[in-house]
Chain A
Amino acid sequence: MENYYQKDIECASPGQIKEWQDERLTAQVQHMWDNVPYYRAMMEKKGVKPEDIKGRDDLYKLPFIEKSDLRENYPDKLVAVPLKDCVRIQSTSGTTGKRVVAYYTQGDIDLWEDCCARAIMAAGGTNEDVCQVSYGYGLFTGGPGLNGGSHKVGCLTVPTSSGNTDRQIMFIRDLNTTILCCTPSYAAYLGESMKEMGLSPEDIPLKAGIFGAEAWSEEMRHEIQNTLGIKAYDIYGLTELSGPGVAFECSAQDGMHVNEDHFIAEVVDPDTGEPLPDGEKGELVFTSITKKAFPLIRYRTRDICILSREKCSCGRTHVKMTKPMGRTDDMLIIRGVNVFPSQIETVLLKNGYQANYQIIVDRVNNTDTFDIHVEMTSEMFTDNVGEISKRQNELVSALRSMLGIKANVTLVAPKSIIRSEGKAVRVIDKRKI
């Protein structure tokens, strides 16, 4: 028996979905034109007026919004409602100190939580379930989003947030947690820890997990499913668009349904920006058609994926996206955190090192390892082991406060980082995803 949170919407006819999208997009474009001078100027530059947009088929006429536009308008210049109507912000970890701040009205939070509630019910959740949210709470959208969704479904919500593995396991066992929400690598880690404690899947009350915020492979899914004795479901989202729940997996476990009543998904050629037909691989672009405070039109996610409109066995009619297959930029997702090499460069230069470094990411026992090799410089070298170690520790702390996760720093000999055609290889990603 498939569970739905909003069956009429989730299983609506394609015609109905198009009708919603046409009407909501038209209104959203007018809303942006009226309230966001920056986007109005972009439209004017492209020679588009709100009356040119009559529905989804006119979407291609509109200018893209890029991440650089969000940074340029930090913190609130893209907000489309008076600040008195906003009730919350969430934020991404930022490059070179500039974060993206997303604003929400109460209505925006409601629709975001609805999306998360759909994901929980698609994973088999009901008000009989105990849902443990082990995503971080705070500025990160993972915790607050699934927390809200869990409330809407009526689950008993256990807001453990991330970390403290022993306590996570204690609550799973003592409270009979049935649904776990966290990053896939943390789920794998919890599974390993429980195995070490001598627990078999029969001793673990969990039945399903909703895992997102980082890329994971089918092999990893099988491993998590086997160790925890659960069904593991993927969830997709971006802070810029609300957070987790933009798309979610159903019982078919084969691609994620985009919540098309709230978001229009397009795939475009990353070089030309030309829209590509369904089934072709390209960059995912989203338009939020119902959010009021921080609506984005044609936002380029930099994620590469494929959209599919094939009929799904779960009964849902909304378009499905594959797991992101890569990025069009150099962003890395490490333990669920977005890391740009440029952030590392900034910290190195600020701490007296040169920008000669190499990032090595691997996945050991289903957890990402994150190493940065930094070339020693004559300025940073002293004849004192303690002093070098002290500077190294200062660098580790500075990186941690910039990136939000800890990296192992190794000081290496000058010119020892491989350079191909004079250009250093900055990133070695050994993860097989």
Chain B
Amino acid sequence: MSVSQISVFLENKTGALNNLTSVLSDNGINIQAMSVAETSEFGIVRMIVDDAFDASTYLKDAGYIARVSAVVCATISDEPGSLHRIIDVLNNVGIDVEYMYAFLGGRKENHAHIIMKVADNEKAEAALRKAGIELLDED
């Protein structure tokens, strides 16, 4: 039900992100969404790509540490209040969001996709679906 996200360990230094995107570019991987979590020394790049398993193989071959994990992706309309609606649903069933990031458009026009890392994907998805919120699945 959920979508696959790739997390990659990067050192926090000049050129690190450039090297990563060049590996993906050279191998024809399309990045659909991306976020970077950083500390002073290292960062974790999280991405939704068109083929997570291909991408993780290319990255591992290039010497990166990459991990594929399942995240929840909700599709919401591009208007005020729609983000609050999904957060409210999760709050009501007691699900904490560890981190989230969003991208506009993408697979559906005039909509935004919200990618969320939660402890229990199934429970979150059931609650969101029950509230009438559209979820994005792997193709």
Contact = CB atoms under 8 A, between A and B. Distances in A.
Contacts of A412: 11, 42
Contacts of A416: 11
A381 interface: yes
A251 interface: no
A37 interface: no
Counting chain A residues whose Cβ lies within 8 A of the other chain, the interface size class is 10 to 19
B69 A377 contact: no
A385 B39 contact: yes
Given A381-B9, A383-B7, A384-B98, A414 B65 contact: yes
Contacts of A376: 9, 42, 65
B46 interface: yes
A385 B46 CA distance: 12
| SS class, residues of chain B in contact with chain A | strand
A413 B20 CA distance: 12
Given A383-B46, A412-B11, A416-B11, A378 B39 contact: no
Nearest to B43: A385
A389 B117 contact: no
A389 B41 CA distance: 10
Nearest to B37: A385
B65 A411 contact: no
Contacts, number: 45
Contacts of A382: 67
Interface in A374-433: 376-378, 381-385, 388-389, 410-416
B63 A415 contact: yes
A377 B7 contact: no
Nearest to B63: A415
From A378, A381, A383, A412, name the one whose CB has the most chain B CB atoms within 10 angstroms: A383
A411 B67 contact: no
Contacts of A377: 65
Contacts of B42: 376, 388, 411-412
Contacts of B37: 385
B116 to A, nearest CB: 13
A410 B41 contact: yes
A411 B10 CA distance: 9
Contacts of B11: 411-413, 416
B117 A383 contact: yes
A414 B63 CA distance: 7
B125 to A, nearest CB: 19
Contacts of A411: 9, 11, 41-42
Nearest to B117: A383
Contacts of B98: 384
Contacts of A410: 41
Given A412-B11, A416-B11, A383 B67 contact: yes
From A377, A378, A381, A382, name the one whose CB has the most chain B CB atoms within 10 angstroms: A381
A384 B67 CA distance: 11
B117 A413 contact: no
A377 B39 CA distance: 18
A378 B65 contact: yes
B17 to A, nearest CB: 12
Contacts of A388: 42, 44
A229 to B, nearest CB: 39
B128 to A, nearest CB: 21
Given A389-B39, A413-B10, A416-B11, A383 B63 contact: no
Interface of B: 5, 7, 9-11, 16, 37, 39, 41-42, 44, 46, 63-65, 67, 69, 98, 117
23 contacts: A377-B65, A378-B67, A381-B7, A381-B65, A383-B69, A384-B44, A385-B44, A388-B44, A389-B39, A410-B41, A411-B9, A411-B11, A411-B42, A412-B11, A412-B42, A413-B9, A413-B10, A413-B11, A413-B63, A413-B64, A414-B64, A414-B65, A416-B11
Interface of A: 376-378, 381-385, 388-389, 410-416
Given A411-B42, A413-B9, A415-B63, 12 more contacts: A376-B9, A376-B65, A381-B7, A385-B39, A389-B39, A411-B9, A412-B11, A413-B10, A413-B11, A413-B63, A413-B65, A414-B64
